[in-house]
Structure 1
């Protein structure tokens, strides 16, 4: 998984998989899901991230329970 924030365009992107993107849908205004050819979510983009998150520059990562 990879998380990037582009401050110039105020977009927070979370990439879950390196699979090629076949389709992107704006599920709600400013929230774009990217899908592979099998319909699996491979990425998520949050537009105007500084207005939708507390701090797009901060990332907290935690593993809860056993990893598969």
Structure 2
């Protein structure tokens, strides 16, 4: 998984898999889901991320067992 934030365009991107994007769909205004050829979600983009999150520069990571 890879998470990037591009402050110039205010987009937060979460990549779940490095396979090719076959299709993208804006499920909700400002939230774009990317799909592989089998229809699995492989990534998402959050537009205007600084308005939708407390701090797009901050990341908290947790693993539960």
TM normalised by structure 2 equals: 0.99
User: Gapped runs of 5+ residues in structure 2?
Assistant: none
RMSD over equivalenced CA pairs, Å: 0.3
TM normalised by structure 1 equals: 0.94
User: Gapped runs of 5+ residues in structure 1?
Assistant: none
Runs of 4+ with >4 A deviation: none
Equivalent in the alignment of 1:63: 63
Equivalent in the alignment of 1:2: 2
Give the count of matched residue pairs: 65
Task: Work out the CA distance in 2 between the residues paired with 1:4 and 1:17.
Answer: 14
